[in-house]
């Protein structure tokens, strides 16, 4: 869903504190773990269990750079050059919050801060900032800065922007906009509750997450076979297993709830 009036990228960007910046870009280190472990083995004079070609190492570096670009792009604000009254602005914010399950922390006539938690039960909550100026509105949606802030692989930040701009644009054209959206959500609630656990979207998310988990698990087992048990081995294995176990638990819980 996108506003009929085209919005543009603003020059304004989110400014993060030092530790927030470290957490924001930390996911760049994930692809670099594999060449880093191989470098560790070579510097320590040991034979690497799995060696990577120069081409493979360049791919790891390239993936890290792409992730860094995605995280850098998240910090941009986007703007729509439309003005609205105080009531229309508030109505657009509340409608977006109901549609996307935002938790609004700050709402005044010129500023909004809200948090959106992903319904997929993952850590990638979004921090939404909205600034209202005389003749335009600006919004930024970013994966909430913190330890191991994941990239926006599925366009959830763009969804926050698009839907807010859509309702902001419609706020002076549609009466009772918030009430209409609430009623629509009530009608859709049953369909959402019964969404197949193995839909295309959910299956794609799981495949990507499982690949990361199995990579950590395989690396931990490889180091275990080479050097024996260590804290690093335990950490990598737990990292690889924890999400899979949690996801199986969620599926099992939903199945039991559906049958009861």
Q: Do the strands 111-116 and 102-107 form a parallel or antiparallel pair, or are they unpaired? A: antiparallel
pLDDT at 121: 46
Question: 182 CB contacts (<8 Å, ≥6 apart)?
Answer: 98
**Span 30-49, mean pLDDT?**
74
Provide the phi-psi class of 120: left if phi over 0, else alpha when psi is between -120 and 50, else beta.
alpha
Average pLDDT for the chain: 85
The per-residue pLDDT for range 77-130, each reduced to its tens digit, is 999 999 999 999 999 999 999 999 999 999 999 999 999 986 544 556 899 999
Predicted confidence (pLDDT) at residue 3 exceeds the cutoff of 50? no
The per-residue pLDDT for range 222-259, each reduced to its tens digit, is 888 888 888 888 888 888 888 888 888 878 877 776 66
Q: Do the strands 126-132 and 137-143 form a parallel or antiparallel pair, or are they unpaired? A: antiparallel
- Measured CA to CA, the distance from residue 205 to residue 120 in angstroms comes to 9
Residue 23: other Cβ atoms inside 10 A: 18
Q: Look up the pTM and report it.
A: 0.67
C-beta separation of 34 from 219 below 8 A: yes
**Span 46-51, mean pLDDT?**
58
- Measured CA to CA, the distance from residue 87 to residue 97 in angstroms comes to 15
- Measured CA to CA, the distance from residue 109 to residue 174 in angstroms comes to 20
């Amino acid at each position: 869903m996108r506003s009929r009036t085209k919005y543009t990228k603003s020059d304004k960007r989110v400014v993060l504190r030092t530790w927030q910046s470290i957490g924001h870009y930390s996911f760049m280190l994930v692809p670099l773990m594999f060449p880093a472990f191989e470098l560790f083995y070579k510097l320590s004079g040991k034979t690497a269990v799995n060696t990577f070609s120069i081409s493979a190492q360049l791919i790891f570096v390239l993936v890290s750079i792409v992730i860094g670009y995605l995280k850098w792009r998240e910090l941009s604000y986007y703007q729509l050059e439309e003005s609205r009254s105080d009531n229309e602005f508030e109505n657009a914010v509340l409608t977006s919050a109901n549609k996307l399950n935002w938790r609004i922390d700050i709402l005044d006539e010129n500023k909004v801060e809200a948090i959106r938690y992903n319904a997929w039960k993952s850590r990638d909550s979004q921090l939404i900032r909205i600034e209202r100026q005389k003749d335009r509105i600006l919004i930024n949606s970013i994966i909430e800065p913190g330890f191991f802030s994941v990239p926006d692989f599925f366009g959830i930040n763009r969804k926050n922007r698009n839907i807010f701009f859509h309702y902001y644009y419609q706020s002076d054209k549609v009466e009772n906009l918030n009430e209409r959206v609430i009623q629509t959500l009530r009608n859709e609630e049953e369909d959402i509750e019964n969404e197949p656990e193995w839909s295309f979207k959910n299956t794609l998310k799981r495949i990507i997450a499982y690949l990361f988990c199995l990579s950590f698990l395989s690396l931990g087992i490889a180091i275990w076979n080479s050097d024996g048990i260590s804290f690093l081995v335990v950490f990598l294995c737990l990292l690889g297993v924890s999400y899979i176990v949690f996801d199986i638990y969620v599926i099992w819980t939903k199945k039991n709830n559906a049958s009861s």
